[in-house]
Amino acid sequence: MPLSAPDLRPYLEELERFADGQLSAAEQEAFEARLETDPALYQAYQQYEQLTADLRWVAGHETLYQRLLALDRRLDQRQEALSRVRRRQRQQQSRWGVGVAAAVLALLGLWLLWRPTAPSAATTWKRYYQPEAALPDSVVRETQRPLLAEAMRHYREGEFPPALQALRRIPTSAIGQDTLTYYNGIFLLSQNEPEQIQAAQPFLRRVATQPGSPLAGRARYHLGMAYWRNQQTTAARNTLRAVSNDPRNPYQEAARRVLRSRVLKD
């Protein structure tokens, strides 16, 4: 007889706070410990992860549709603005003469050319993000694990979709499950696209909540950076603060650098 799906309602508020990074460090450690000992909570967490992944997939398509509508509106607004500028230019030329209008346009062009521009959010994130290195050849052992070697080669060359395809063909018996899960998240996050960043979060969160995994600390740093890139500022700040307080985490200084810069403002 198939097992019934776990009831999420007793755990829903707690799962949402955990997923959004709203737990304190002590609460997060207690919650992660319960995941290892409470089967009902762990099943509810797995179902919640699948549910949120499905919702993000639907939301991604709706977001794309809304972005296209917004782009159409901006193009219409820009066309209307250009028409207003041209009408004003003709009025100025008729009132003040061609020479005065040309001088004004020249000054306007210089201002547009030399005005300071703020760096984009993607540029700022890329400045602080410290990518994960590919597995070394001594670990990969190409003759024994050719698919893993292929995935890491594509990753080093910045070819992330082919790297992900090769990684997903590797059987779990060839390398640890947490390593496969971790690099699934890393390859998705490295593409630096909104949908891939959202898709990376469940993989990284799954590894980060495995205290026995040597990759848990690393996954927590990349999860925090994924939160930041996805504009989940509070979750990013809480997650990176936990990394900065962990002296065993190789990304401790990278997390501190982000927090010192105060780029994670609400």
Q: Hey, where are the domains in the chain?
A: 1-113, 121-261
What is the per-residue pLDDT for 1? 41
CATH 1.10.3720.10 fits 121-261, yes or no: no
Q: How far apart are CA 142 and CA 191, in angstroms?
A: 25
What is the per-residue pLDDT for 159? 94
Q: How far apart are CA 143 and CA 170, in angstroms?
A: 14
Report yes or no: 185 and 203 within 8 Å, Cβ to Cβ.
Answer: yes
Number of Cβ within a 10 Å radius of residue 21: 22
What is the per-residue pLDDT for 83? 75
**SS3 label, residue 116:** coil
Q: How far apart are CA 223 and CA 209, in angstroms?
A: 11
DSSP state of 264: -
| Encoded tokens for 118 | 């703020």
For the chain, residues with pLDDT lower than 70 are 1-6, 58-65, 67-68, 71-72, 75-76, 78, 93-101, 104, 108-119, 266
**SS3 label, residue 124:** helix
What is the per-residue pLDDT for 208? 92
Cβ neighbours for 25, distance < 8 A, ≥ 6 positions apart: 241, 242, 245
Number of Cβ within a 10 Å radius of residue 237: 19
DSSP state of 91: H
What is the per-residue pLDDT for 3? 47
What is the per-residue pLDDT for 156? 93
Distance between alpha carbon 159 and the CA centroid of its chain, in Å? 18
What is the per-residue pLDDT for 73? 75
